[in-house]
Every structure is written in C-alpha cells, then in structure tokens.
Amino acid sequence: SAVISQKPSRDICQRGTSLTIQCQVDSQVTMMFWYRQQPGQSLTLIATANQGSEATYESGFVIDKFPISRPNLTFSTLTVSNMSPEDSSIYLCSVEDETGSSYEQYFGPGTRLTVT
C-alpha cells in the first residue's frame, strides 16, 4: 500500500486563525480524501480532493471553511479557516488502493488540531 505522510502532526491554534495541513503520498494516486475525526467519534468524510479541479464536498462542509488544493497526483492540502474550538479534531487524508477492485482506503497518520 501507499505510504502517506501528513504535516503537521499536531498543532495548537488560536481561534480566528487558519491552518493548512499537507498530505504527501509516495506514489501517484487518483483518489485522495480528507476526513475529520472529532473526539470520541468516528470518521466523517469532508471532501474528495480532485486533481486539476475543485474538490467535491460532503453535506455540511463548504469550500470557504475547508479549501482544498490538489496540484498533482501525490499531494494535497486542506486548510481549516477561521478556526473555532469546535474545529478541534483529528484531520486525516486517505488514498484509495488502485491495485484491487474494491474501494480499500489507506490513511495518513493524521493531524491533531486543538483550537483555543
């Protein structure tokens, strides 16, 4: 499976500021995703990062709050804008395995964000 890294691994930010999270994959992948995992909760898909076009957002998530870039097939960024304490969460990127026929996904180590 692909090796995925994320930066930063954790951060503590003040409300009203923005943080950009980077996701790097060691091979070219078509499908990349961004998830959020709030404390004590399971994963929720934020958006699909599309290479060369705008990201596809899930219900409840908007581009102004979570702008996403996907400049090539190995890299993506997620920005959490105008942060509030409710944005404190783990943010994970994932990629879809392109060697099989199912939708198996593999996750980066996550970025632990605390907003004060």
Q: What residues line the site for other proteins (CB under 8 A)?
A: 1, 33, 41-45, 48, 58, 92, 102-110, 112
CB nearer to other proteins: pick between 73 and 90: 90
Residue that the structure tokens 């219900």 belong to: 59
Is 33 in contact with 51 (CB distance < 8 Å)? no
CB-CB neighbours of 52 under 10 Å: 8
CB nearer to other proteins: pick between 9 and 18: 9
CB nearer to other proteins: pick between 45 and 73: 45
CB nearer to other proteins: pick between 14 and 60: 60
Q: Smallest distance from the beta carbon of 42 to other proteins, in angstroms?
A: 4
Q: Smallest distance from the beta carbon of 7 to other proteins, in angstroms?
A: 14
Q: Smallest distance from the beta carbon of 44 to other proteins, in angstroms?
A: 8
> In whole angstroms, what is the distance from residue 8 CA to residue 112 CA?
8
Nearest alpha carbon to residue 107 among 31, 12, 20: 31
The DSSP bridge partners found for residue 11 are 113
Q: Smallest distance from the beta carbon of 48 to other proteins, in angstroms?
A: 8
Nearest alpha carbon to residue 20 among 69, 77, 85: 77
